[in-house]
């Protein structure tokens, strides 16, 4: 995919982890768009999910990385944005294979679930792993067909 720009976002519970991701991207010289939130003050995750995912579908960002308390709510919201394939990950294998096999374009993580060290490993492998295509393309196409309201059976 070459040089990447990452849209990052969170709610209040994911704010500390989002800040860690932001610092990591900064340190690595990777471009990012931080859609907020910008403090630990209460902020609803669906807003950040939609903002960050819109950046991806509009082509301003290549991938999105989102954080909330569990990573689950923000992934549910992200997956409602047409064109987004979000995966809530807590482990390295899933973060790697959701890029290789599902062409995931949004990684979601829970600040209350994993530590910063694990999270940054997931960020690294998610950003640096490419989609394998081939037989997996057919399956991704099927996911997107469901999004368009098509029947697969």
Residue nearest to ligand RB5 (CB): 73
Site size toward ligand RB5 (CB under 6 A) is 9
The single residue among 13, 56, 86, 89 that binds ligand RB5, judged by CB under 6 A, is 13
- The rounded distance, in Å, linking the Cα atoms of 106 and 62 is 9
Residue 56 and residue 7 in contact, taking contact as beta carbons nearer than 8 Å: yes
Active-site residue identified among 37, 53, 67, 68: 68
Residues 35-94 that bind ligand RB5 (CB under 6 A): 45, 68-70, 72-73
Active site residue 12: no
Cβ 23 to ligand RB5, closest distance in Å?
20
Stretch that binds ligand RB5, among 8-16, 29-37, 79-87, 101-109 (CB under 6 A): 8-16
Helix/strand/coil percentages in the chain, nearest 5:
45, 15, 40
- The rounded distance, in Å, linking the Cα atoms of 84 and 13 is 22
Nearer to ligand RB5, 68 or 120 (CB): 68
- The rounded distance, in Å, linking the Cα atoms of 95 and 93 is 6
CA end-to-end span of the chain, whole Å? 33
CB count within 10 Å of CB 125 equals 19
Residues with catalytic function: 68, 101
- Chain residues that interact with ligand RB5, rule: CB under 6 A: 11, 13-14, 45, 68-70, 72-73
């Amino acid at each position: 995919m070459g040089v990447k720009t990452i849209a990052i976002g969170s709610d209040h519970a994911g704010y500390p982890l989002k800040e860690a991701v932001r610092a990591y991207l900064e340190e690595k010289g990777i471009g990012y768009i931080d859609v907020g939130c910008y403090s630990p003050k209460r902020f609803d995750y669906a807003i950040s999910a939609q903002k960050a995912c819109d950046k991806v579908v509009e082509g301003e960002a290549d991938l999105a990385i989102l954080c909330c308390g569990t990573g689950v709510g923000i992934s549910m919201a992200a997956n409602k944005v047409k064109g987004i394939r979000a995966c809530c990950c807590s482990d390295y294998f899933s973060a790697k294979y959701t890029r290789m096999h599902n062409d995931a374009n949004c990684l979601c993580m829970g600040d209350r679930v994993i530590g910063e060290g694990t999270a940054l490993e997931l960020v690294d492998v998610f950003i640096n792993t490419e989609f394998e295509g081939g037989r997996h393309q057919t399956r991704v196409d099927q996911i997107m067909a469901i999004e368009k309201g098509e029947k697969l059976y």
